[in-house]
Each structure stands twice: as C-alpha cells, then as structure tokens.
Amino acid sequence: MPLPFKSYLKKPSNYKGGKSKSEVLTNGRKIYKLSSNENPIGASPKAMAAIQSKLSQIHEYPDRTDQRFREALSEFYQGALVPEQFISTNSGVANLELIMRGFLQEGSECIYSNPAFGPYRSFPKKLGATAIDIPLVGDHFQLNVEGILKAINERTRLLFITSPNNPTGTHFPKSQIDQLIHHLPDHVILVFDEVYYQFADAEDYVRPLPYIQEGKNVIAVNSFSKAYGLAGLRIGYSYSTVEIATYLQQLRIPFMINALSLAAATAALQDDAFIKQTVQLVHTEKEYLYQQLEQLGIPHWTTQANFILIKPPMDAFEFEDAMLQEGVMVRPVAGFGAPDCVRVTIGNREANEAFVKGMKSVL
Ligand SMILES: Cc1ncc(COP(=O)(O)O)c(C=O)c1O
C-alpha cells in the first residue's frame, strides 16, 4: 500500500520567509536588518520585565484555555469585545492557518489580492483549496471590489485583505471596505489582517472592529511581532463574532502559547508608552526615508505601515545581494506578487542612514 500522502501536497510550497540575521552574518560584521518589519527600538520593556518575573514558573503549564489572556484582550478593547470573541495563537500567521483550517478544504476557494502577504496564496494549497488572485488596481494599489465580488461563487469561503497592506504599505479606505462588506454573501468570511494597524494614521483608515460589532462575518487578525516588538516570542490573536470564534476555538491546540509569551503579551498590552514611542519613531523616520528616496530618484510608495515599498532601478534580487554586501538586509517581494520591488523596513536613524549610504554605493 502506498503511503497516504495527500496528492496536492506533493509539490513543496515555494513560499520563502525572510532570512534571520544569523543566516547572513559573516565575520561578526554589523548587519542592519530591514527585511522583516521588526520593531526598530526593540521590545516593550513591560513585556521583558514580565518574562523575567515568570521565569521561575516555567516548569508549570500555562493556562489551558488562555482565558486570562482573552480577558486582558477584552479589557484592552475596553469591553467592546467579550473574551469569547478572541482566539490567541502562537503568531499571527498561525492564526491565519487556524482560520484556513477551519474554513477551507479540498475543492473550496478563497480570494486574495496581489501584491499580498504570501501565506494567503501558499497556505490554502496545503488544504487542497484554491486561492484566487484578484490583483489590486491602480497606482495606489486599491481593491478591485467589483472583480472580487464577481469571483465569489458557492465554493468561496474566505476573502483576505490586509490594511495597511504588506508589501505595498497602502491602506484601503473605509468606503471600499464598506462596499465590499455590504455586498459579501453570507457564506463568505472576510479575514481582515490588521497586524500593522498601530502605524496607520490616514483619515479614511478603518479597522475591522466596527464591522464585527455590527455582527458581520469578519475575522480581524493581529500580531505581537510588529509594534509590540515580540516577533521572537511568536504570539498573535484574532477576534470575530462569538459564533465564529467559538467554532475556531475548537480547532485550537490546548496550551498552544507558552507561559513566557503569554506573560509578555499581557504586559505589552498595557505598554502604551512603548507603542507611542515606536509609532512616533516610525513616522519621523519615514519622512527622512521619503526625502532620501526622492533625492536619489527611487520610485516608492507612501506608507501607512512600518515599511516602504521601493522600485530599485535594477533586478530586485540583485539589489538585495548588493545591499547585503553593504551590510543591510532588505526584502525582495516577488513572492508577494511585486516582482520588481523591494520592501524596506523603517529602522532607527542609524539603520536608515546605513540603508541610504548602501543604496548610494549600490546605485
Ligand atoms: C500581513 C501580515 N500578516 C501576518 C503576519 C504574521 O506575523 P506573525 O506571524 O509574526 O505574528 C505578517 C508578518 O510579517 C504580516 O506581514
């Protein structure tokens, strides 16, 4: 009898995550990592202190159901959501995977819009589902609402959008989201990935929260890897209607999140000062980078996130390699549907200066 491999998993996924610093480090040379949208000032000090004080208890299992963490999240949302509406997972991407596992199967479909975060395309395939790309349109990468609605059929289960979007950094205005949500049939869930929401300040930016409060079939996906600076701890969460969250909760592995991550994230939720400091730095530094990119004549897009999409005047992968020689890691985003472009995380001034200096030498 042959092994019962699933036929659609025979071909390995071609999604490649960003490299870590240790993968590229050579001779102890200083490397500036502007390739994974990490926090430029480190991690929330409250989170680090919480880990220290939890260390003596790591022989004990964490909360089985993460109830206390969900209560902390409910408090963070000032009671706008009840604890039963949250699903915590060991990363934002694990939350996306849980959602897909819950709603996709062989033969089902989902929709996403390139340029987009790679897992929307690669993960459904692991479940035998088909991901349909309805590309973003225009110079400012807007949703093709009509195209999306036309692509929906009886097999469609999920629709993914990210605002601010990775890798473009652009956001989708409230009017577009309204239009989309109000025309979405009942059997389709909108997965609204908002892992960069803290950095958005556009007037017409909207979060998924009000739609979920209205009872719409929307799931909001969040991460502690970006503004909270806890990428190495792997923790994220989603919120949705009680009906959807109760269903997803059944698929979640008990004790999924380790005790240190739970302690850190709970403390980070109360670290407003750290979030303010992070966002302020990103806003100041993006102006510096815009100025430098303009002086160098490098096409780029204004951003609502903590990274900038640029179009270097050479092959994106060659640019990545050349910048690495200059000690700066950047991220080509061909895998995200933007083959000529490179995504650059907004760093602290030292890192951004290294990026500008590197770019001058490369170009
Ligand atoms: C759009 C988007 N969603 C989700 C994630 C997942 O973040 P994490 O798995 O680190 O929580 C990322 C990380 O880069 C992202 O850019």
The model's pLDDT over 299-328, given as tens digits with 9 standing for 90+, comes to 999 999 999 999 999 999 999 999 999 999
pLDDT (average), residues 123-146: 95
Binding site membership of 113 for ligand 1 (Cβ less than 6 Å) = no
pLDDT for the residue numbered 16: 67
Residue 30's pLDDT band (cuts 50, 70, 90)? confident
Q: What is the mean pLDDT of the chain?
A: 94
Mean pLDDT lowest among 3-17, 189-203, 266-280: 3-17
Query: Helix 92-103 crosses helix 119-126 at what angle (to 10 degrees)?
Result: 40
What does the pLDDT read at residue 2? 80
Average pLDDT over residues 102-121: 96
Q: What pLDDT sits at residue 146?
A: 97
Q: How far is the CA of 361 from the centre of ligand 1 (A)?
A: 31
Local confidence band at 15 (pLDDT 50, 70, 90 cut-offs):
low
> pLDDT tens digits, residue range 48-78?
999 999 999 999 999 877 899 999 999 999 9
Structural domains of the chain, ranges and CATH numbers in brackets: 16-43+272-362 (3.90.1150.10), 45-268 (3.40.640.10)
The amino acid present at 98, given as its one-letter code, is: L
Which residue minimizes the CA distance to atom 11 of ligand 1? Answer: 92
Q: Can you tell me which atom of ligand 1 is nearest the CA of 117?
A: 1
* pLDDT at 63 (0 to 100): 83
What CA–CA distance (Å, rounded) separates 201 from 301? 15
The pair of structure tokens assigned to 334 is: 């061909």
Q: From residue 284, how far is each of 14, 41, 192, 198, 336 by CA, in Å? A: 36, 13, 27, 15, 27
**Is there an atom of ligand 1 within 6 Å of 223 CB?**
yes
Strands 307-310 vs 236-239: parallel, antiparallel or unpaired = unpaired
Structure tokens at 95: 């939350």
Is residue 18 predicted with pLDDT exceeding 80? no
Phi, psi of 129 (to 5 degrees): -95, 165
